[in-house]
Structure 1
Amino acid sequence: MTEEDYLSAGYEKEEQIISIVQANKMAFVTAGPFVVLEFIIWLGVFRLPLGLKLSHAFGLLLLYMLTIPIHEGLHGLGFLPFVKNGAQSIKFGFMKEYLTPYCHCREGLKPRAYLFALLLPFAVLGIGTFIIGLLTQEPLFLWLSALSLLSAGGDTTIAVLLRKYLSLPDCFIKDHVSECGFVAYVK
């Protein structure tokens, strides 16, 4: 549905946007505690080594660069089960002025479906990589997980904005067309 369709059906529009700069700052507030928790678990509970070999540091950088498009792809995969027009409803792009890739869903989704797609990279690349690190006892995965969690900080910040819509029975969330955030259509 278009914005006009939502408004003519009696929905009210509420924009929830945040600047890219603010989202990056808030990453430390919304995702940072998860990174701290990982280090507490890694060092305090499992007492695993923290250091990286120099050769692993280069590998970490390469792996992290690979996770950037994977992060956006996971958003796209998260949107797919909930959109009517399949992959045609999902757009990938890059904001040159912020050196930021993005995945944009053109359809409105129920808030919980939107939340699922929003936090899928956080769960897979952040938490999943951490679990792999615990299983292999390889610090490279701890550091990759920490970077992935912080990279999902914009997503976790948007999730905080989304929380007030999660319990609304007649609400649709649509990615904002040009800003970091979303538009909520609420009845």
Structure 2
Amino acid sequence: MDFSNYNKEMLTIDLAKANVAAIKYFAFFALIFGLPYYFIWGFNSKPIFENENLILNIAFPFFLFLFGIVIHELVHGFFFAKYAEKGFKSVKFGVLWKMLTPYAHCKEPLK
């Protein structure tokens, strides 16, 4: 692939700003969907988990959330690999522990 007609430009996203924006969006949508749910069903709606084990009720959604994050990053990696010349050899997965941010990164331009 000939890249002589392209200009390389470094673009970065400030992760702190991205995390703050994500929290704002979460709060916004929690209000939009949570308030109507509360007014329709109240707190006495049938629990999703009828298990009395509090630890299980807390741990299951947490691990389900973590599993969803892994699947989300794998989807990014899959499509990076699909459009990268070297496939999965060009895809890097990791976590920025300081910001608790998982990522999938492609080391080459995509087709």
Whether TM-score is above 0.5 comes out as yes
Quote how far apart the aligned CAs of 1:51 are: 5.1
In 2, distance between residues paired with 1:84 and 1:32? 40
**Ranges in structure 2 where 5+ consecutive residues have no aligned partner:** none
In the other structure, the counterpart of 1:102 is 103
SS in 2 for 1:56: helix
Rg comparison, structure with higher value: 2
With the length of structure 2 as denominator, give the TM-score of the two structures: 0.64
CA RMSD of aligned residues (A): 3.3
CA contact (8 A) 1:76 1:90 kept: yes
CA contact (8 A) 1:43 1:50 kept: no
One-letter amino acid matched to 1:106: K
Indicate the structure whose relative CO is greater, using CA pairs within 8 Å and at least 6 residues apart: 1
In the other structure, the counterpart of 1:25 is 20
In terms of fraction of residues, the more strand-rich structure is 1
In the other structure, the counterpart of 1:13 is 8
In the other structure, the counterpart of 1:91 is 92
**CA-to-aligned-CA distance 1:39-90 (integer Å, 9 cap, x gap):** 26x838xx56485554433211121222232222121112222122111111
Aligned identity (percent) is: 34
**Ranges in structure 1 where 5+ consecutive residues have no aligned partner:** 111-187
In 1, distance between residues paired with 2:14 and 2:68? 23
Matches within 5 A, 1:16-165: 16-29=11-24, 33=28, 36=31, 39=33, 43=37, 49=45, 53=49, 54=54, 55-109=56-110
CA contact (8 A) 2:84 2:108 kept: yes
